[in-house]
């Protein structure tokens, strides 16, 4: 099979929340496949440091700091891309947060913050990207879901609700935009070693439960999402639409 199928040279990818964790690993993977990547996060200094690190590694990278829950900031960022002649060919909606507590203890303010950061952001950033992709007749959108797109665990109610929404937002994007040459798909990571899971990684009881559930018997590494991301960003997936690919060591396949 030709490597050209997965070649991202000449493509520009915006990855939200990419100054650390899974977003950063995905951004590096897309850059290694040839894409120019735009690093996003809330903190401009962290975004700049990530861009510098990526450039130091020989990758084409730029930064765009904005909060994915701030619609005016998102609209302004895309207006800036237009003004600079930057066309976003690939969008990865990765930014997200987790808040853990029993459902009866969540305030509606906390609920909305999780939904807006993990779900509404993907709609708003996706809408701004898609308007331009539709005009150009092509584009790739990759939403980051979770095992929580399918299944629930106690104490992560709003997150589970948002990630279930990501699964159906992905389908909605696909059915509305497929005829315009856009593929919208999702990746559902399993339990990955990132800062978001710091408390769980240190929790011996949780680890015992987790290792009893994951057929691969280990946590995932952020760079293990790169294969799925490059596939969904490249011509190799041009007839794949509205799907969610689980990268979870087999966890969602196990009873
Ligand atoms: N780590 C896992 O095991 C796991 C599993 C399934 C899904 N996910 C999902 O993967 C994505 C990345 O998670 P991670 O583990 O790398 O977490 P992380 O906390 O390490 O990284 C999340 C990134 O999003 C950024 N971010 C948060 N709110 C933002 C906002 N309002 N605007 C812009 N950026 C913002 C953060 O600054 C950070 O860089 C999330 O959507 C998460 O739900 C993670």
Q: Greater confidence, 199 or 130?
A: 130
pLDDT digit string (tens) for 183-208? Answer: 999 999 999 999 989 999 999 999 99
pLDDT in the model for residue 3: 78
Confidence of residue 247 (pLDDT cuts 50, 70, 90): very high
Q: How many helices (H) and strands (E) are present in the chain, helices listed first?
A: 9, 7
- Residue bearing the CA closest to ligand 1, atom 39: 17
pLDDT digit string (tens) for 47-104? Answer: 999 999 999 999 999 999 999 999 999 999 999 999 999 999 999 999 999 999 999 9
Tell me how far the alpha carbon of residue 176 lies from the centroid of ligand 1, in angstroms.
27
Q: Does the pLDDT value for residue 33 go beyond 80?
A: yes
- Residue bearing the CA closest to ligand 1, atom 36: 17
Q: Does the pLDDT value for residue 2 go beyond 70?
A: no
C-alpha 242: how far from its chain's center? 15
pLDDT in the model for residue 166: 99
C-alpha 245: how far from its chain's center? 12
**Residue 114 Cβ contacting ligand 1 at under 6 Å:** no
CA distance 185 to 121: 16
Residue with tokens 């308007």: 131
- Which segments of 18-156 does DSSP mark as H helices, in order? 21-32, 44-56, 71-83, 108-115, 121-136
Residues with catalytic annotation? 159
Burial bucket for residue 53 (CB in 10 Å: 0-12, 13-18, 19+): middle
Strands (DSSP E) along 137-213, which ranges?
139-144, 182-189
Report the atom number in ligand 1 closest to the C-alpha of 147.
6
Confidence of residue 1 (pLDDT cuts 50, 70, 90): low
For the residues 103-131, what does the mean pLDDT come to?
A: 98
pLDDT in the model for residue 51: 98
The mean pLDDT value of the chain amounts to 97
**Residue 249 Cβ contacting ligand 1 at under 6 Å:** no
pLDDT in the model for residue 117: 98
Domain 3-247 adopts which CATH fold? Rossmann fold (3.40.50)
Q: Does the pLDDT value for residue 35 go beyond 80?
A: yes
pLDDT in the model for residue 114: 98
Tell me how far the alpha carbon of residue 119 lies from the centroid of ligand 1, in angstroms.
12
Residue among 72, 95, 193 to mutate when testing ligand 1 (max atoms within 8 A of CB): 95
Spatial contact of 184 and 156, defined as CB atoms under 8 Å apart: no
* Residue 101 CB neighbour total at 10 angstroms: 14
pLDDT digit string (tens) for 202-235? Answer: 999 999 999 999 999 999 999 999 999 999 999 9
**Residue 200 Cβ contacting ligand 1 at under 6 Å:** no
| Helix 157-177 / helix 108-115 crossing angle, nearest 10 deg | 40
Integer CA distances (angstroms), 121 to 59, 73, 127, 164, 195, in order: 27, 11, 10, 14, 21
Residue among 69, 96, 245 to mutate when testing ligand 1 (max atoms within 8 A of CB): 96
């Amino acid at each position: 099979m030709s490597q050209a199928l997965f070649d991202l040279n000449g493509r520009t990818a915006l990855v939200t929340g990419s100054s650390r964790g899974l977003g950063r690993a995905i951004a590096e993977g897309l850059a290694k496949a040839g894409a120019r990547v735009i690093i996003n996060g809330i903190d401009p200094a962290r975004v700049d440091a990530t861009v510098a690190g990526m450039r130091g590694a020989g990758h084409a990278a730029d930064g765009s700091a904005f909060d994915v829950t701030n619609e005016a900031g998102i609209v302004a960022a895309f207006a800036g891309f237009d003004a600079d002649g930057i066309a976003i060919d690939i969008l990865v909606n990765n930014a997200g947060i987790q808040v853990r507590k029993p459902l009866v203890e969540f305030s509606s303010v906390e609920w909305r913050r999780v939904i807006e950061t993990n779900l509404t952001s993907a709609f708003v950033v996706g809408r701004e990207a898609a308007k331009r992709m539709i005009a150009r007749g092509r584009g790739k959108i990759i939403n980051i879901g979770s095992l929580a797109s399918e299944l629930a665990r106690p104490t992560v109610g709003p997150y589970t609700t948002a990630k279930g929404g990501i699964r159906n937002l992905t389908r909605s994007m696909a059915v509305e935009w497929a005829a315009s040459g856009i593929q919208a798909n999702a990746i559902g990571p399993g339990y990955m070693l990132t800062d978001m899971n710091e408390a769980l990684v240190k929790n011996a009881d949780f680890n015992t439960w987790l290792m009893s559930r994951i057929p691969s018997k280990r946590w995932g590494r952020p760079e293990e999402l790169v294969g799925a991301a490059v596939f969904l960003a490249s011509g190799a997936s041009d007839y794949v639409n509205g799907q969610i690919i689980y990268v979870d060591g087999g966890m969602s396949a196990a009873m």
